[in-house]
Structure 1
């Protein structure tokens, strides 16, 4: 069941970037599209938690939920949705995978946390990958709007990183609250802020909303991208540990690159693809110690269970 859910999570996260691209290409205003997705997902999850007597109003009306919603949802996805008007979904997915690197950079430059040599090397590899990804458009006649969109996605990951670091304090304060509840409230606030931004900056055409591809994009992202995939993620964290579920970052961007190329005929050069692989390789180097420890512990646990089973059978 764990492996099945993990595969489902990776596939869903890998397809969300193409679903975003389809929506904005069909004329959906990016901020409105993101806002309705997260606000609806948050409200529906909150109602479900209420029915199960697990909703927490203190969390919902806390300033902590507002701050995490402003950074993790609003800051991350306002930039991503806007940028996907101009960049391929696969490129958006790979650049979005730089979130862990931004966390390390903030910890080093702002919080003065000393990086290990392994972490430093991993960051350097991933940053080289970013340069390779952008290089095809860094020419004399470069596409300025494309580059702006890419840098905005990276800026959004700074917001994600800040929100992730801050969310540790939130988890400590609301230690008895389900992580799903914490995710629900930040989606509500982030979605509301995105809708507010949409009202002040976008013109919504009702005809665009009636488009079946646009509707399909919103429904898929709301139900699968925000509700199901994130619930699976927190379920996996509870059943395993935080390391194993987070490895979706190494798999989903590759899925997104492939889907964008095959299903949407997105332009992906070999240099851009190699840059994406390099970014992910850097992330693996950064987390190599934790990954080795995780799988070593798992092998020991499986071995103990197997010996116990044989002993009981004998």
Structure 2
């Protein structure tokens, strides 16, 4: 089940960078569209969890939910949405792929945890693969806003990495609540923060949100990107570790390349194929021990059921 959910999450998240870009290019205000996306997705999921009696209303007043929402949703996506006004979706995917490496560095430097050399090597190989894959397709212009956008995404990934590590503690702290409910509440908090930021920083013209491209982008990101993708991510953090689900960031450019070739007949060069293979190799190295343990547990379950 872990591997299946991981594959679904990678497929979902692999499409979100371009979907965000489509909405922003259609005129949707970055902070407001991000805020409404996450707040509505979180609200719908939380109501569903309440109706299923798998969540308590008092989760809404827990400070841990606010902190998680600040990191995983507000910090990560305020920077990404703003940056995608100036940075291509491909470049955003490259820069976002630094998150698993940042998680390992935070574990090693801040939390003083022992990190296997194999994991560090795997992160570097995976990140190299992303560069090999996407860099030939990206026109890097050294404009001020491109540089600011790139820096913003990197800052956002620090928020993301901190939130992924902190969310593991939150899940243990609220072990009696569904990870889906915890994810819903943090999205509501993060979405509300984004809308407050929008109120003070950008003009809001509803007409720009009502174009077909803007509406389509928003609906896809609410239902598929947030309700499906982020719920699976939170579930995987609970079932494995913070690093394993975060490696979807290495696969997103690979998925984008495959969809482009399949649906739009885009050319796939040998250089791009090398990047894809290198990326997957890095992911396997980073998670080799976790994958081996998951396979062993699955085999034991099958033997017990036999």
Classify the TM-score, shorter chain: 0.7 to 0.9
Per-residue deviation, residues 114-166 of structure 1 (Å, max 9, x unmatched): 32221232233345457766699898x73443343233222211101111121
Q: Does 1:49 align with 2:32?
A: no
Cα pair 1:136 1:271 within 8 Å, conserved: no
Give the aligned partner of residue 37 of structure 1.
37
Distance 1:62 1:129, change over 3 A: same
Show CA shifts across 1:71-96 (max 9, x none): 01001111111122222323323432
Counterpart contact for 2:126–2:279, Cα < 8 Å: yes
Question: Which residue does the alignment assign to 2:240?
Answer: 242
Larger Rg: 1
Contact 1:75–1:159 (Cα < 8 Å) also in 2:
yes
> What is the aligned partner in structure 1 of residue 155 from structure 2?
155
Change (3 A) 1:249 1:88: same
| Aligned residue in 2 for 1:90 | 90
- Superposed displacement of residue 302, structure 1: 4.2
Q: Is contact 2:99-2:249 (8 Å) kept?
A: no
Correspondence 1:102 to 2:108 = no
**CA separation in 2, counterparts of 1:122 and 1:160?**
20
State the partner residue of 1:286: 286
Separation in structure 1 between the aligned mates of residue 107 and residue 12 of structure 2, nearest angstrom: 30
Distance 1:65 1:289, change over 3 A: same
Per-residue CA distance 1:26-61 (angstroms, 9 max, x = gap): 011111111010011111112222222233222211
Q: How many residues align?
A: 303
User: Structure 1 pair 223/123, CA: closer, same or farther in 2 (3 Å)?
Assistant: closer
1:120 aligns with 2:123: no
Is 1:233–1:245's contact at 8 Å kept on the other side of the alignment? no
Unaligned ranges ≥5, structure 2: none
Partner of 1:24: 24
What is the TM-score normalised by the length of structure 1? 0.81
CA separation in 2, counterparts of 1:268 and 1:196?
Answer: 42
2:66 aligns to what? 66
CA distance in 1, matches of 2:24, 2:262: 19
Alpha-carbon distance in structure 2 between the residues aligned to 1:91 and 1:255? 15
Once the two structures are superposed, residues 202-232 of structure 1 have per-residue CA deviations (whole angstroms, 9 ceiling, x without a partner) of 1112221110110111111111111123344
- Please give the residue correspondences for 1:197-236 in structure 2 after superposition, counting only pairs within 5 Å: 197-233=197-233
- Give unpaired runs (5+ residues) of structure 1: 309-314
TM-score by structure 2 length?
0.83
Q: Which region of structure 1 is more displaced relative to structure 2, 254-263 or 88-97?
A: 254-263
How far, CA to CA, are the matches of 1:201 and 1:97 in structure 2?
28
- The alpha-carbon distance between structure 1 residues 304 and 94, as it changes in their structure 2 partners (threshold 3 A), is farther
Aligned to 1:192: 192
> In the TM superposition, what is the alpha-carbon distance from 1:297 to its structure 2 partner?
3.8
CA gap of 1:138–1:270, structure 2 versus 1, over 3 A, is farther
Q: Is the 8 A contact 2:244 2:287 kept in 1?
A: no
**C-alpha contact (below 8 Å) 1:24/1:85 kept by paired residues:** yes
- Distance between the aligned counterparts of 2:162 and 2:237, measured in 1? 21
* Residue in 2 that maps onto 1:311: none
Change (3 A) 1:199 1:273: farther
* Closer, same or farther: CA 10–220 of 1 in aligned 2, 3 Å: same
> Offset at 1:175?
1.4
Does the 8 Å contact 2:130/2:279 carry over to 1?
A: yes
Listed as ranges, the matches of 1:261-300 within 5 Å are: 278=278, 281-299=281-299
Does residue 13 in structure 1 map to residue 23 in structure 2? no
